[in-house]
Amino acid sequence: DVKVTQSSRYLVKRTGEKVFLECVQDMDHENMFWYRQDPGLGLRLIYFSYDVKMKEKGDIPEGYSVSREKKERFSLILESASTNQTSMYLCASLSGQVNEKLFFGSGTQLSVL
Amino acid sequence: KNQVEQSPQSLIILEGKNCTLQCNYTVSPFSNLRWYKQDTGRGPVSLTIMTFSENTKSNGRYTATLDADTKQSSLHITASQLSDSASYICVVRGTGGFKTIFGAGTRLFVKA
């Protein structure tokens, strides 16, 4: 089965710090996504990438950037962390086939103090 | 506006009982609808997919239904087990690109 691995389960950072969240998938999927999940809200798309070095803004890209230098790795960057970025961050990958499902990582719970 | 609404927000049932979770959507044009299960501290995992032509689909004790005319789906869990305690998320995908709308989820608690 597809494995999507996020580098950290829990992170605690201070306001203003630069934060890197890493995600690696092992199924050669073209498409990768970063979501955040907050209580009472559905998953919200931050950024996605459909190919190496390609990226597209999702619904809430402000305050975030991404990097996809290799097909298997998709990084989310918080240039200057703020308290309102405290959240659960989920990475997902998807093949290009019709009706294929998203494969999610276990998530990173980020707390910004 | 494309939306996915789930109800109830949370649900507590006794082990062995049945329950039904609801999902209403306004996503158009419609491609498919998936139900995901998310255990605490884990990422969501797909349970089942419903396409436009499908009315019902089962996966073990989980049965999903879809009424494409009224834009409603349900997930029925039979003979619940403690391990069913999780969030259940309804996800609707539109046609073209990766337009995917997530519901806020129903938090299910199964008590012994």
Contacts of A101 in chain B (CB under 8 A): 34, 46, 49
Contacts of A50 in chain B (CB under 8 A): 98
What tens digit of pLDDT does each residue of B31-45 get?
A: 899 999 999 889 999
> How far apart are alpha carbons A92 and A107 in whole angstroms?
10
Contacts of B34 in chain A (CB under 8 A): 101
Take residue B29 and report the two structure tokens written for it. Answer: 């044009």
- Interface with chain A: mutation pick from B100, B101, B106, B107, highest number of A CBs within 10 Å: B100
What does the pLDDT average to over A38-48? 90
Q: Which residues contact B70 (CB under 8 A, 6 or more apart)?
A: none
Q: How far is CA B53 from CA A59, B20, B25, B33, B57, in A?
A: 30, 21, 16, 11, 11
Distance from CA of B81 to the nearest CA of A (A): 23
Strand-pair category, B72-77 with B86-94: unpaired
Contacts of B103 in chain A (CB under 8 A): 42
Among B31, B49, B104, beta carbon nearest to A41: B104
Cβ <8 Å between A31 and B98: yes
ω before B8 within 30° of 0 (cis)?
Answer: yes
> How far apart are alpha carbons A108 and B43 in whole angstroms?
10
DSSP string of B10-44, one letter each residue = EEEEETT--EEEEEEE--SSEEEEEEEEE-TTS--
Phi (first) and psi of residue B108, to 5 degrees = -105, 130
What tens digit of pLDDT does each residue of B43-93 get?
A: 999 999 999 888 999 999 999 999 999 999 999 999 999 999 999 999 998
Phi (first) and psi of residue A85, to 5 degrees = -95, 5
Distance from CA of A18 to the nearest CA of B (A): 24
Which amino acid would we find at residue A65? S
Sorting pLDDT into bands at 50, 70 and 90, what band is A1? low
Share of chain A above pLDDT 90, in %: 76
Closest residue, chain B, to A5 (C-alpha): B43
> How far apart are alpha carbons A46 and A59 in whole angstroms?
6
What is the average pLDDT value for chain A, to the nearest integer?
A: 93
Closest CA relative to residue A94, chosen from A38, A36, A48, A42? A48
- Compare A54 and B21 and report the one with higher pLDDT: B21
Residue B30 has pLDDT above 90, yes or no: no
Beta bridge partners of B14: B111
- Could you give the 3-state DSSP secondary structure of residue B53? coil
> How far apart are alpha carbons B40 and B86 in whole angstroms?
6
Q: B63 touching A, CB under 8 A?
A: no
> How far apart are alpha carbons B25 and B50 in whole angstroms?
13
